[in-house]
Amino acid sequence: MTPSDIPAVNRKLKEAYHRVKAPIVDLLAIQTRDPFRVLLATILSARTKDACTAAACERLFKVVTTPDDLRRISQDELEKLIYPVGFYRNKAQHLKALPDVLEQKFGGVLPDTVEELCELPGVGRKTANLVVAQGFGKPAICVDVHVHRITNRLGLVQTKTPLDTEMALRQILPTRYWITWNSYLVAFGQTRCTPRNPRCDGCPIAAYCDARETNVER
């Protein structure tokens, strides 16, 4: 795949996206239009399947919708609400610390830049980019394992880490695709271009894929 193929591949990925269930953070962003809840959902979603994240968010958002709600709730109660998401104890600690860090560093207002969001507990570049894109609707490239894997399989990038992939895509991918690129590739990676035994037969973007003939799991 070359950069000139991006518009055609994007069209096919968009068509495939609308035939499957959207990733949980996408759904929450559409339903709530609330960057704070998108942040909480994104933190919970790390190393956790979407169904588990959705159930945890449903329980959590009945009790917590603002930083003040987080400040009032105990860590034990937080743990019970979000269990069994991956690393739930660590995530509860991060959530519990969030209101004070927000107040001390940003006057209680959730920032809308990747660099500032990365100053919050439990937030790395993947989470920050997703909150900027899905929570605030601003251009940002969120690179998770699916985006990293698929863009390398396609041959659009040749990178070793998700951070390298993000930096490469910032140079290659037109800004108009930044917000949706993660959504399309996550859905595609969950349903077709999986880590093991990808379903290459009938793949709508096979003609653009460098790995299609070897079925390389890279």
Q: CA-CA distance, 108 to 70, in Å (whole number)? A: 12
Q: Is residue 187 part of a domain?
A: yes
What is residue 118's predicted lDDT score, i.e. its pLDDT? 97
| Same domain flag for 34 and 58 | yes
Q: Is residue 213 part of a domain?
A: no
| Same domain flag for 77 and 31 | yes
The domain of 76 spans 24-135
| Same domain flag for 76 and 148 | no
What is residue 149's predicted lDDT score, i.e. its pLDDT? 98
Tokens 């968010």, residue located: 57
Per-residue pLDDT of the chain (218 residues; tens, 9 = 90+): 999 999 999 999 999 999 988 787 887 776 778 999 999 999 999 889 989 999 999 999 999 999 999 999 999 999 999 999 999 999 999 999 999 999 999 999 999 999 999 999 999 999 999 999 999 999 999 999 999 999 999 999 999 999 999 999 999 999 999 999 999 999 999 999 999 999 999 999 999 999 986 655 54
Between helices 50-60 and 75-82, what is the axis angle to 10°? Answer: 140
Q: Is residue 215 part of a domain?
A: no
| Same domain flag for 96 and 162 | no
What is residue 97's predicted lDDT score, i.e. its pLDDT? 97
| Same domain flag for 39 and 128 | yes
Q: Is residue 55 part of a domain?
A: yes
Q: Is residue 217 part of a domain?
A: no
| Same domain flag for 202 and 145 | yes
| Same domain flag for 75 and 108 | yes
What is residue 28's predicted lDDT score, i.e. its pLDDT? 76
Contacts of 37 (CB under 8 A, 6+ apart): 28, 57, 61, 65
Q: What is the pTM of this model?
A: 0.90
| Same domain flag for 128 and 30 | yes
**21 secondary structure, DSSP code:** P
CATH number of residue 189's parent domain: 1.10.1670.10
| Same domain flag for 122 and 155 | no
Q: Is residue 13 part of a domain?
A: yes
CATH number of residue 120's parent domain: 1.10.340.30
Q: Is residue 112 part of a domain?
A: yes
Domain boundary among 84, 105, 135: 135
| Same domain flag for 16 and 46 | no
| Same domain flag for 28 and 131 | yes
Q: Is residue 81 part of a domain?
A: yes
Domain boundary among 98, 115, 135: 135
Query: In the chain, how many domains are there?
Result: 2
| Same domain flag for 112 and 146 | no
Q: CA-CA distance, 203 to 108, in Å (whole number)? A: 46
Q: CA-CA distance, 218 to 214, in Å (whole number)? A: 11
